[in-house]
Amino acid sequence: MNKWSEKTVLVTGATGLIGSHIVDELMKMGNVKVIALSRSAEKLEKGFAEYIGNKNFSYIAQNVTESLNLEEESVDYIFHAAGPMEGKIIANYPVDVIKPNIVGTMNCLEFLHKQQETKGIKGRMVLFSSVTVYGNNTETDIRVKETDTQVTEVLESGSAPYSQSKRMSEVIALAYAKQFGVDVVIARFSTVYGNTRFIPDTAFYEFINKSVAGENIVLNGSGFARRDNIYVDDAVKGVLVLAISGLAGEAYNVSSGADMGNFLAVDEIAQVISQTANKKYGRLKENSVRVLCNNQSNNKRKAGVILDNTKLQVLGWQLEHSFADGISKTLANYNRGK
């Protein structure tokens, strides 16, 4: 029997990249009750129009920073995927980044704690953490395991509101596990990419938009660090494995481990996207999309971080998509994200 059979699953941040794909995978099973939570009722209704009216699907339009009002539900799993990750939001609205990671995490944990106390039902929370909990103070690329959390970003960094609140969310989750016995497993994602219902304001999707429109991609700067990228389908399969088989209180890297051509910097990503789009749309050399670099110098690439995924593989998960495959699938499903 399917281990998800007859389970009730809450997905916060359900209209985002990973959250929406989790909803899709669970709804495909046909016997899982899915509760999709997001701030926007309009996005929920538009993004999940195909599920509206399905007895296994319901949605809640609220901010996860507000207390969860689900007393009538008995939740078996919570995937806490809510929270912005766009660079412009981190730079300009840092409090809006911190709150879902801290307050939202506590609200999910409080719900499970209360459910356990009042109903005797021990649900599990899968906390979405990030590659940003790892730092790199060397001049070379490093490979990190789940225990390598001793190096972190300096507090003065512009991206610290994101990285440090992700670290703190893990501390909070483990504290609830220790003090109240709440069942928690932590997923540390590398950079996840793929098609999505609602396109965020990030460089990756700017590259996709421009390549589809036939416009050149312009990059400013040089020395971009390579990063561990993972296609969304692989990431979702990994986090579903963690929900069922991950050890309580443990963290797991959900990443490519730099395999299958997935360790690339933004300039290299732009090149793959432009070349794939040119081939897809049959563009000749004279009208092909090109990647142009402004302020280009001979700066050495900054040091990158590779997330070792051995611990996840032990649970039976395997990476399936090369970066080229993932970009091809992203472009093939592009209209869905418009």
Tens digits of residue pLDDT in 162-182: 999 999 999 999 999 999 999
**Contact, 109 vs 173, CB < 8 A?**
yes
Residues in the chain predicted with pLDDT less than 50, given as ranges, are 1, 336-338
Burial (0-12, 13-18, 19+ Cβ within 10 Å), 2: exposed
Best CA proximity match to 205, nearest among 187, 232, 228, 226 = 232
The DSSP-derived string for 37-63 is EES-HHHHHHHTTTTTT-TTEEEEES-
Q: 33 has which bridge partners? A: 8
Q: Is the dihedral of CA 93, 95, 101, 105 positive or negative?
A: negative
Q: What is the pLDDT of residues 302-335, one digit of tens each?
A: 999 999 999 999 999 999 999 999 999 999 988 6
User: Crossing angle, helix 160-180 and helix 105-119, to 10 degrees?
Assistant: 10
Q: What is the pLDDT of residues 138-148, one digit of tens each?
A: 999 999 999 99
Q: What predicted TM-score, i.e. pTM, was given to this entire model? A: 0.95
Class of 8-198+229-259+303-321 per CATH?
Answer: alpha beta
The domain locations on the chain are 8-198+229-259+303-321
Cα 196 to Cα 71: distance, rounded to the nearest angstrom: 31
